[in-house]
Structure 1
């Protein structure tokens, strides 16, 4: 039986809590219950392990978040987007994978900065595109300013970036305070009166 998924799970937790530099291969191996050289049977290096974990987390979160957004597609637009924002805040607090991804998006290992950004930028472009498609649905598009889906999607991603940065740098209460203050302004900006 391969231990690769187990190694990735343990590494994810250590990368999330201690960062790339703090999570040594020795500690990962010890937590898995193997010797450090055994990691090299599955990964070329610590960097390779990190990027495999990062890619896996991106795939899972893309699927989960898009599915969640689509589950609320019939809700009023502002309600669906607000619940998605709340879900991301909840996930950041309770889900190691989300915490890992968000922290590494904001603070990628310096040696892997370009590799991480080459993965993150397409992820957010896909998220923006998926959101634009959701906003272009007839029921939602009719409520937006004419041709407003692209701007509304980009503005939402920008708002979300600020809220999540506050969750990372501050705490949930501060992030909620910002969300409460800006949400009506965002909605007034994208929706027809």
Structure 2
């Protein structure tokens, strides 16, 4: 049995709690129960291990987010999006993958900044395109200001960015407070008056 997934799982936990700089290969090896040189059988360097963990985590989170959106397709879009935002805040508190991913999106290791952003930015562009497509569906588009699907998608991404930054810098409670305050404003801004 390969130890590569085990090494990645342990590294994920340490990167999430200690950051890139704080998670040494020695600590990762000790937690896995191997010697440090054994890590090099699977990864060229700490940076290679980090990028492997980041890539895997981004893929998983992407699947979870798109599955959540698909499962909530029968709800009014504003309920589904509010629920998704709450889910991301909950996951940040309870899930090491989400914590790792969000922290590294906001604070990537300096030496890996361009590589991390090279993975993150396409993900956000795809999410924005998918959200614009979803909001442009007839059942949603008729509820938006004319031509407002892309605008509503961009505004949602901006709301989520601010709320998740508050979850990282502050707490779940203060993030929830901000979401509660901004959500009615978001909805008034994107929904057409009937």
Question: If the length of structure 2 is used for normalisation, what is the TM-score?
Answer: 0.98
Q: Secondary structure of 1:175's partner?
A: helix
After TM superposition, list the pairs within 5 Å mapping 1:73-152 onto structure 2: 73-152=73-152
In 2: Cα distance, 1:16 partner to 1:40 partner: 21
In 2: Cα distance, 1:180 partner to 1:127 partner: 23
In 2: Cα distance, 1:77 partner to 1:191 partner: 11
Q: Equivalent residue for 2:4?
A: 4
Gaps of 5+ in 2: none
Q: Equivalent residue for 1:29?
A: 29
Q: Residue 3 of structure 1: CA displacement?
A: 0.3
Q: Secondary structure of 1:143's partner?
A: coil
Q: Residue 22 of structure 1: CA displacement?
A: 0.3
Q: Equivalent residue for 1:190?
A: 190
Q: Secondary structure of 1:44's partner?
A: coil
Deviations 1:8-65 (A, max 9, x none): 0000000000000000000000100000000000000000000000000000000011
Deviations 1:96-144 (A, max 9, x none): 0000000000010011111111111011111111111111121111101
In 1: Cα distance, 2:47 partner to 2:179 partner: 35
Question: If the length of structure 1 is used for normalisation, what is the TM-score?
Answer: 0.99
Q: Equivalent residue for 1:163?
A: 163
Q: Equivalent residue for 2:40?
A: 40
In 2: Cα distance, 1:70 partner to 1:140 partner: 14
Q: Secondary structure of 1:73's partner?
A: coil
Runs of 4+ in 1 over 6 A off after TM superposition: none
